[in-house]
Each structure stands twice: as C-alpha cells, then as structure tokens.
Amino acid sequence: MNDYPVQYPTNDYFGREARFEHGKSLRKDCTRSSHAEVVLGQGPRDPVALIEVSNGDRVEHLLPVRFGRMSESSFAFFRGTANLQAHDLKGTPSSGIVVQCCGDCHLMNFGGFATPERRQVFDINDFDETFPAPFEWDLKRLAVSFALAARWLGFEPTDCLAAAAAVIAAYREHINVYANMGALEVWYAQITAEALLEQFEKDEEFHKRLSKAMEKAALNTSERVFNKLTTEEDGHFRIVDQPPLLFHVHGAEVDLQSELEPFFKSYRETLTADRQTLYDRYRLTDFAHKVVGVGSVGTRCYIALFMADKDDPLFLQIKQARASVLEGLAGPPRWASNGERVIAGQRLLQSASDIFLGWSLDAHGRDFYVRQLRDMKFSPDLTGFTPKLLGYYANMCGQVLARSHSKAGEAPTIAGYLGAGPGFDEAIAQYAIGYADQVEQDFAAFQSAIRLGRLPIDSMPAAIEQAII
C-alpha cells in the first residue's frame, strides 16, 4: 500500500516563494490535465459489495432506512456512499500534496453555524471522514457532487460541466489569495454571513434566499427550540418523541446515572478548562435516539438534554465515530480514537468550532464525538436552483474549501501546482462528469440489488422500537 504522508514545510521549501516553486515543480510528475483521465483508480469493483462492507457496525434495524434514503436519486446515493469514491480515488493521479481533508466533501456538507461569539459563518460542517489525504480528493468529490446536483435539477449537460468547473475555479482563485497571506492572517480568516450577503447583494434572488436561510438559522439555538423539543412531566423536562427521526426506545430506557455518567465524565476531560466550568453548570435530564443525514443513517446517534435551570437548556448531539473511509487508502490511523480524529480534523479545518466539541467512548468501547445539536445551523436547499444560483453556491463552497486547506498549511504549494490558468479546473470538471456517469451506473446496480432483495428498503421499520444501544 502506498501511503500519502503529510507534507510539512522543510528547510528546502521554507517560505512562501520556495513552497510555491516546489508546487509548480510537481506538475512534471503529475500534470494537471492527467486528473481528467482516471475515474476508477483501482479498476473494476462490485459497488453493492462495497456498500455492504460500509454497513459494518451500523445498527441493523436502521439499514432499510439508510437504503431508502439513498434510493431517492443518484445524488442521494452518492451522498451515502463516500466509501465508494474513496476506493476509486486510490490509484488516481496525485500531485503528492497532502493536507487534512474533509473526506466527504460534497456540497450538502457545507453550511452556516455560529462561532463561539455567536456570529454566523459559512463553512464545512461535517467531518466524520476527515483524514490526511491528497488535496485533490476533496476537490474531486466536491466537483462530482455539483455535477450530480445539476443533473438532479434537470440542467443541460453544459450547465452540469460548468457547475463542476465553477467550484474548482473558485477554489483555485482563492487558494492563490490565501497563499499570499500571513500564517496568522489565514488562521483567523472567516467567511461570515455578512460578507456573503455583501458578495451576492447584486443578485436579488440569491441574496433573498441567503438572507432568509440565515434569519431562520438565527432562531435555531438550544434556548429557542427548547419548548418545541421538550415537555414537562412531573416537574422534569423530557425530550418529545418525534418518530421516526427522534425517539426513546420503549422498554430499554437508558439509566442516565449508571450508563451515561462515565461517558460524559470522560467527555468532560476533552474540553478545555474554561469550557469544563461552563459544562459543569448543567445536569443531564434526558437522552433520546436521533436518525440523521444520509450517509450517517445506521450509525448510533443521540441527543442529550441538559438543564442549568428550568429555563436554561443545552442540547448536545452524540454521534458515533467510525473509521474514516480514507483510512487504509490514504494511510494508517494517527489518533487514539476516531472521536478524537473527527474533532482534531474539525478544529483544524473550520474557521471556528463549537465550544462543546469533545469525544468519548461508550460502555462497549465504541467511539463517539459530541457537539451542540443546534447553534444557528443551516444547510442549502437546492430546490428551484437555476444554473446561475448553483454557480453562486459553487463559488461559496470553493472559497470555503480553499480557506480550510490553507489553514491546514499548504496554500503556497497548492497554488504553485494549480497556477493561474483554468487547466486544472477543466480537468477536474471532466473527471466530475466521468465519475457522475459511474455513480449512475452504480446507482442502477444498487436499485437492482434492492429489487432482488439483497438490500432491504423501508422508510422506517417497526423493529426500530427494539433496543439498539
């Protein structure tokens, strides 16, 4: 196996100019145009078998829900099969520039949330698969997601190609900007909601969509949603069941003290001292199961209600952290636990992170990470998008990924490799169209497996009422 070691500046390539020239020199061994050529780096494979492998350690009763969500479209299927593209990227042309990657860098994993100061920013918001890998892997997954989203929206082939190229062009343009900034300047850089609104104020439709999403997200906090998510019973607050997505498991209620106290005690130790002080003001009062996402369905996910007073709530989300889909393909694991891996990658790549980020192990030795359930979060709604609006959104995502990779430390080297022209953009866009075709073939095989009964499908099986802890 060929690992991809993280590339740190050495004495030979210290300073922006030297690193830029080093990046430029890498084109000799891996031309920018070569990225268009190889779709399957490891050759033929069975997509259904790889999906079955990815089901390992998922809650079996939730697999029909997972497959049901994936069956909605080739775009939804793509979102639920990060391991497929990870398998296929191994062996594709690589510049040799390795950064901390998101690992599942598709357009629905970008969105808005609050900084510790409760300012709204736009950033990557999912790091379940984060891992050090060639920087192109994030770009290729992101470009394919735009190509598939454009097809899902019914766009013409030229518009699908343009959407894939637009996100890469935005990345290239902004990586060149970050490459010429100081290290601290890059570290502190944020893409705020206000800056985005300013950037798109000339387009009334997109500006209106963005404003509306941000206004709605501003109300999406623990304090604001408390009355919607809870009820009071005998003087105690309890999370309201909202099946099939939020529920307690009847007959197998969690003992908050004996089962969860050790978990949260360990979690507390991963917080900084000041945040431990804040956390200590709350007491755990209820705990429930939550079904999330597309790719995450079947992993163990919960929400916990904490109270500091009768009108002072905090909701935390506890999510299982499994091995990254890039592990073994981009190299061996480098963290003591996958919960720590997720949090380390998130802190490195995001411009600002949730103050309650931490990790722990459950009684069965499974890894989890913890974050606030809601803190001014919003995600894109692509319904009704035109090619122009999708292009604007591509520009936003390209900016964010450039900032994330720059914070991870390799902007000058990447900028040197990419150059100022559109050659790399065009190559990745061509790859995106080719891989989108492959996704549709895999989706057809997936649908066939469902029809043959190999993969069960349901919106939410009755068996979910059984204990799944």
Q: Does residue 456 have a cis peptide bond before it, meaning omega lies within 30 degrees of 0?
A: no
pLDDT band with cut points at 50, 70 and 90 for residue 257: low
Residues composing the chain: 469
What is the structure's pLDDT at 373? 85
Q: Are 331 and 3 in contact (CB under 8 A)?
A: yes
Query: What are the Cα distances from residue 344, in Å, to 97, 132, 277, 336, 455?
Result: 20, 11, 22, 11, 34
> Tell me: the pLDDT tens digits for 181-220?
999 999 999 998 888 888 888 888 888 888 888 888 777 7
> Residue 420 in 3-state DSSP?
coil
DSSP string of 92-124? S---S-EEEE-SS--GGGEEEEE-TT--EEEEE
Least confident of 199-208, 245-254, 334-343: 245-254
The residue assigned the tokens 């079904």 is: 291
Least confident of 241-245, 386-390, 402-406: 241-245
Q: Return d(Cα 64, Cα 290) in angstroms, integer.
A: 16
> Tell me: the pLDDT tens digits for 148-168?
999 999 999 999 999 999 999
- C-alpha triplet 319, 289, 335: angle, nearest 5°: 15
Give Dmax (Cα) for the chain.
72
Instruction: Report whether pLDDT(294) > 90.
Output: no
Least confident of 228-232, 318-322, 392-396, 414-418: 228-232
Among 465, 451, 467, 382, smallest CA distance to 67 is for 451
DSSP-H helix ranges across 156-221: 157-179, 183-188, 193-199, 204-218
Among 59, 79, 81, 70, smallest CA distance to 450 is for 70
Instruction: Report whether pLDDT(276) > 70.
Output: yes
More confident residue, 211 or 467: 211
Q: Return d(Cα 387, Cα 413) in angstroms, integer.
A: 32
pLDDT band with cut points at 50, 70 and 90 for residue 119: confident
Q: Are 308 and 281 in contact (CB under 8 A)?
A: yes
What is the structure's pLDDT at 251? 47
Q: Return d(Cα 155, Cα 433) in angstroms, integer.
A: 13
Among 460, 56, 106, 107, smallest CA distance to 290 is for 460
Q: Return d(Cα 48, Cα 455) in angstroms, integer.
A: 9
> Tell me: the pLDDT tens digits for 42-82?
988 999 999 999 988 888 878 888 899 899 999 999 999 99
What is the structure's pLDDT at 8? 47
What is the structure's pLDDT at 467? 32
Q: Return d(Cα 176, Cα 169) in angstroms, integer.
A: 11
Q: For residue 290, count other CB atoms closer than 10 A to its CB.
A: 17
What is the structure's pLDDT at 244? 75
Question: First-to-last CA distance in the chain?
Answer: 36
Dihedral angle at the C-alpha atoms of 422, 167, 428, 351, nearest 10 degrees?
110
Residue 358 β-bridge partners: 370
> Tell me: the pLDDT tens digits for 400-458?
999 999 998 889 999 999 999 999 999 999 999 999 999 999 999 999 999 999 999 87
The residue assigned the tokens 């390539």 is: 13
Q: How large is the average pLDDT for residues 321-336?
A: 93
